[in-house]
Amino acid sequence: MVDQAGQDRFGVLWQNPQKTQQLVQAMLSGKHIDYYIPELFGFLEAHQELWEAFFGTIGYRLHRRDLGGSTYYYLSNRSGDSKPKKLSQAATVLGLFLSLQYAIEGPGLADSLPAETVFERLRATLPFGRVRPIFFQSSPGVSAKELTEEQAERFKAKIATALRELASYRFIELSPSSRASFDVLVVTKLPALYRFLELARDLSASAEGQPDLAAIVLKHWGDGASSREAEEE
Amino acid sequence: MQESWGARSERRDPIEQLLLLKNQFSGGLHLKPEEILILEALHLLIEHEIEEDFLLESDLKDRILRTSDCLKLEIEPHQTNQLIQKLLQTGILRLTFGGTRQRYRLSRLGQSLAKCLLDEVDYGTDQLNALFTSALSGLRTARLAGNDSLKHYLIHVLFDTIEEKIESKVLAIEEDLARRKERVRQTYAGQSDESRDKAQSDIEASRAALTELVEAVRGSSACEALDSEIDEVIREVEDPHLKELLRRAGTFIYRFRAKIDLMLSDLVEFIRNCAAYRALAFSVTARDRLCRAQEQILAYALEHPLEMPLLTMPEIPAWGLPPQRPVEKKPLVLDSARIKSLEEAPGMASTFEDPSWKERLLTVAREQWKTFDQEVDLAGWLLELSKTIPQVADQPDLALSFLASDWPAWVPPVIVSSRDDSWVALGEEWMIEPITLATEIDLTECTNG
């Protein structure tokens, strides 16, 4: 990290140790950095090439995206040896669903949605029989095809868990707090939520008649296999 | 009902007024958007461009068509008569006669309606500046007249009238922005790129106007001066009630500034979101294609175990010595009965095996020793022996050890002595000091001789 003149190449990054520590810890924990945390975002923007080089030396690749018009940064593993952590299947489905809502309605849909609204839209759009194995896995006592009213509360709890997971990586923001009760919980879109549209952009740009979905998933998200399945093996 | 309406002697009965209104507009006021725009155009023409307060028919038609061209209302020349009749029927326009020619004037209703509608979308600072200037002037005058006068002015003029008008103005701007944003939302979810572009440009115009308003208010001498005046009076007066009223006035100005700042920042954020969405799906077709693709991906995710890859901070594996149960060590007890003496121990088995040439070496050496009649140089003898037994040259140290172990039993006995001479090489690795082997007979003869 020292150049030929003996100067620390990354010296400017250490001038504010506290901010550097916050940024490095946030990014290495998988968080996306956007302009809603202006101090860290500005720090990245101002020294993007240096940060890219720094993270590269410790085995990570810095990504800068502006899909959706708002810039955000995140890291991925550079080495193929590391097995990255994956979002749960429930959170992935919820992320895909939320990003679809914003793609359909555009700025017509407020950036903030009550969690109850998310639940109602999910319930109205996706057949419960198909989402049940994803959100409930092997929970007993849950009707296979239809969601009963008493089971709706359990479904809301599962959705809240998936929302908290998405919030922990700054795909969305939860207010008044991530632990608020479902009836007052509000979901706010953050720029990184548009990452869930990357597959669709590739698919929609494909000139083939029947594009291979599996190949597109593999290209962007690796094998996309459930880590739960790997553990079971 | 009269009590609840608090009728004063100088006011007319409200019911009578309502009855008059009921009969006045039996057909209602149904105005299309283009008719409202024509009304505004006529109002602006009369208010700002011409000296007269009336229009001749030809001028009226000309203004209608020019407005239509400018705003793309698509009003044809043959439709102007119909439009004029409509405005006359609604009571917005009225017909008068001046000399021999017909004249058209805006009725009082038309003027009021046009002015109010313009105020709804007027982000200009003139009205606000006028209100703040009026408030400042009134406050200074009341201040000079004394505390009672100042109290009266604050309660009945500033809070009752001026504050209400300013709030009404801000509310009108807020409502207009909300309508424009709603139009943008509807068009972005709609099917027309043209409508979307139009709505977007409308709201961009609003942002420009609102920005100008905010900048004007921030730099407005009247607003700043009013705020400073209030602060100054608060410091001077002793009356707590008056102080409270003045603080309320100061709070109102602060809230007003904060309100329009917030409106502008919300609008900027909204426009930014529109631009962000535009970058994602720049046309209706692109949006629909993207949404269909996302639905396919979502359906795929419901059928296959799909998980988005992330990143986590590498975890340093925890290491530590697991706690072990204490093991009780048994004391060492020596059992003398089980200890064997060294004598009973079996002999150490030698792992060295004599080479095959040893016996041959010793046999030859013994025979030759018997024939020697004089002392022998050990080095020379070993070299001679190596000619018949090559291993002696290869391992002279081993050969010498075999001989030295055997010759104590030779007859005649071997007497070993060293002499003062140079060392002799035995092969490439060994050298031997000058040693002489003699017998007792040799020594006896030497002594006797």
**Is the torsion defined by CA of B8, B10, B16, B18 positive or negative?**
negative
| Nearest CA-CA distance, residue B278 and chain A, Å | 8
Cβ of B272 within 8 Å of Cβ of A84? The answer is no
Chain A residues close to B290, C-beta within 8 Å: 103, 197, 200-201, 204
Q: Average pLDDT for residues B41-64, to the nearest whole number?
A: 84
Cβ of A224 within 8 Å of Cβ of B307? The answer is yes
Total beta-carbon pairs less than 8 A apart between chain A and chain B: 167
Q: Is A80 helix (H, G, I), strand (E, B) or coil?
A: coil
pLDDT averaged over every residue in chain B: 80
Q: The whole model's pTM is what?
A: 0.57
Residue written as tokens 């140089």?
Answer: B377
CA distance A165 to A162: 5
For A8, residues 6+ apart whose C-beta sits below 8 A from its C-beta are A1, A2, A14
**DSSP states of B367-395:** HHHHH--S-EEHHHHHHHHHHH-THHHH-
B316 in A contact zone (CB under 8 Å): no
Comparing alpha-carbon positions, the chain A residue that sits nearest to B289 is A204
Question: Do residues B179 and B199 lie in contact, with contact meaning Cβ atoms separated by under 8 Å?
Answer: no
Please name the amino acid found at residue B409. Answer: A
Q: Which residues pair with B415 in a beta bridge?
A: B438
Residue B61 is given by DSSP the state H
Cβ of B189 within 8 Å of Cβ of A195? The answer is no
CA distance A118 to A124: 10
Comparing alpha-carbon positions, the chain A residue that sits nearest to B185 is A108
Token pair in block for residue B235: 């410091």
For A211, residues 6+ apart whose C-beta sits below 8 A from its C-beta are A203
CA distance B69 to B76: 10
Backbone angles phi and psi of B327, in degrees to 5: -100, 125
| pLDDT tens per residue, range B187-219 | 777 777 887 788 778 778 878 878 877 777 776
Backbone angles phi and psi of B146, in degrees to 5: 120, 170
| pLDDT tens per residue, range B218-232 | 766 788 888 889 999
**Is the torsion defined by CA of A19, A46, B264, B270 positive or negative?**
negative
Which of B270, B271, B294, B300 has the highest number of chain A CBs within 10 A, making it the mutation to test binding with A?
Answer: B294
* pLDDT higher than 80, residue A137: no
Please name the amino acid found at residue A178. Answer: S
CA distance B245 to B425: 126
**DSSP states of B11-37:** SPPHHHHHHHHHHHTTT-----HHHHH
What pLDDT is attached to residue B448?
A: 46
Cβ of B305 within 8 Å of Cβ of A84? The answer is no
Lay out the sheet containing A72-77: strands in order across.
Answer: A33-34, A72-77, A60-65
Tell me which residue in B189, B279, B309 faces A69 most closely, judged by beta carbons. Answer: B279
B333 in A contact zone (CB under 8 Å): no
Q: Which of B15, B62, B26 is nearest to B42 (CA)?
A: B62
Q: Which of A216, A107, A132 is nearest to B187 (CA)?
A: A107
Q: Where are the alpha helices (DSSP H) in B146-237?
A: 147-153, 163-188, 193-219, 221-236
Cβ of B280 within 8 Å of Cβ of A103? The answer is yes
Which residue would you say has higher pLDDT here, B326 or B285? Answer: B285
CA distance B35 to B110: 12
Chain A residues close to B304, C-beta within 8 Å: 214, 224
* pLDDT higher than 50, residue B146: yes
Q: Which residues pair with B97 in a beta bridge?
A: B102
Please name the amino acid found at residue B209. Answer: A
CA distance A141 to A126: 20
Comparing alpha-carbon positions, the chain B residue that sits nearest to A170 is B310
| Nearest CA-CA distance, residue A5 and chain B, Å | 33
What pLDDT is attached to residue A34?
A: 93
Chain B residues close to A130, C-beta within 8 Å: 302-303
| pLDDT tens per residue, range A145-180 | 666 777 888 899 999 999 999 999 999 999 999 999
Chain B residues close to A214, C-beta within 8 Å: 304
Cβ of A225 within 8 Å of Cβ of B305? The answer is yes
Cβ of A204 within 8 Å of Cβ of B293? The answer is yes
| Nearest CA-CA distance, residue B279 and chain A, Å | 5
Tell me which residue in A105, A194, A221 faces B308 most closely, judged by beta carbons. Answer: A221
What pLDDT is attached to residue A152?
A: 87
* pLDDT higher than 80, residue B337: no
CA distance B428 to B426: 7
Which of A22, A73, A204 has the highest number of chain B CBs within 10 A, making it the mutation to test binding with B?
Answer: A204
Tell me which residue in A76, A196, A199 faces B311 most closely, judged by beta carbons. Answer: A76
For B267, residues 6+ apart whose C-beta sits below 8 A from its C-beta are B177, B181, B203, B206, B207, B210
| pLDDT tens per residue, range A70-109 | 889 999 887 655 567 889 999 999 999 999 988 877 765 5
Tell me which residue in B275, B291, B307 faces A227 most closely, judged by beta carbons. Answer: B307
Tell me which residue in B277, B290, B300 faces A204 most closely, judged by beta carbons. Answer: B290
* pLDDT higher than 90, residue B264: no
**DSSP states of B239-286:** -HHHHHHHHHHHHHHHHHHHHHHHHHHHHHHHHHHHHHHHHH--SHHH
* pLDDT higher than 50, residue B1: no
| Nearest CA-CA distance, residue B187 and chain A, Å | 9
B192 in A contact zone (CB under 8 Å): no
Buried b (16+ CB within 10 A) or exposed e, A68-77: bbbbbbbbbb
